[in-house]
Amino acid sequence: MNVSILQFPGTNCEYDTKYAFEKLRANVSIIWHKETTIPKNTDLIVIPGGFSYGDYLRAGAIARFAPIIQAVQEYANNGGKVLGICNGFQILLEASLLPGAMKRNNNLHFISKFNKLKVINNKNAFLQKLNVNDILNIPLAHHDGNYFIDENGLKELEYNNQILLKYCDDNGFETNINGSVSNIAGICNKNRNVFALMPHPERAIEKLLTCDDGLKMLEGFLV
């Protein structure tokens, strides 16, 4: 499997993400934001976490206009798989590859901790190796992770089974840690080839460092 990871000024999770996919024996390339094409052999594009362009104006708003994003849009529109993690989620929203928007956390504080996630839908390439209602322990690190979508948009996400992950407690009961509508932590597009989540699976890949639940998530792409 060939994975292309995007890199912007301010990205800080590209090498963690590279390590995670290399641990799964993928071939990984890091693509600078000024490039205008994606390598032809790419099986998955990953937009990793960080603070692209310092989150100036709005998280992901400037990165959305980087030269590489047009290539990402074309790749996704042709059915290519794309995964956005944290800042990558924000960029995909700004680029209109996913519905909704991100706002500041409702408590206006940066959240940095492990938190449980519940799998809501596994009928997709990303989470296919997990079961519905599985509980995962994945780190969070965001200031603008408050996912918003209007009532009609939420109904559409639910109808199309586009909600992938929700925040929950140790027992699987949903919790709202940042203000996100319906406790949403991750979604996909209608065609199920563009995926995004705010938590960082690439930071949970070693049992020695708490758990490897993130690896269990990412390996779905290798099936």
* pLDDT tens, position by position, 40-73: 999 999 999 999 999 988 999 999 999 999 999 9
Read off φ and ψ for residue 154, nearest 5 degrees.
-65, -45
Q: Let me know how many helices (H) and strands (E) the chain has, helices first.
A: 5, 11
Structural domain harbouring 26: 2-222
Once rounded to an integer, what is the mean pLDDT over residues 125-151?
97
Per-residue pLDDT at 129 exceeds 90: yes
CATH number at residue 50: 3.40.50.880
86 is catalytic: yes
The residues, ordered by sequence, that sit 6+ positions from 206 with a Cβ below 8 Å of its Cβ are 212
Please pick, among 14, 188, 200, 219, the residue that the annotation labels catalytic.
Answer: 200
For 79-121, give the secondary structure using H, E and C: CCEEEEECHHHHHHHHCCCCCCEEECCCCCCCEEEEEEEEECC
168 is catalytic: no
Q: Is 39 exposed, middle or buried (0-12, 13-18, 19+ CB in 10 A)?
A: middle
If pLDDT is split at 50, 70 and 90, which confidence band does 223 have?
A: confident
Q: How many angstroms separate the CA atoms of 175 and 27, rounded?
A: 37
- How many domains are contained in the chain? 1
SS3 assignment, position 193: coil
β 44-47/81-85 pair status: parallel
Once rounded to an integer, what is the mean pLDDT over residues 2-23?
97
Please pick, among 13, 86, 168, 188, the residue that the annotation labels catalytic.
Answer: 86
Per-residue pLDDT at 209 exceeds 90: no
Please pick, among 14, 94, 142, 202, the residue that the annotation labels catalytic.
Answer: 202
pLDDT one-digit tens code per residue, 144-199: 999 999 999 999 999 999 999 999 999 999 999 999 999 999 999 999 999 999 99
202 is catalytic: yes
If pLDDT is split at 50, 70 and 90, which confidence band does 85 have?
A: very high
CA 175 centroid distance within chain: 19
Amino acid at 196: A
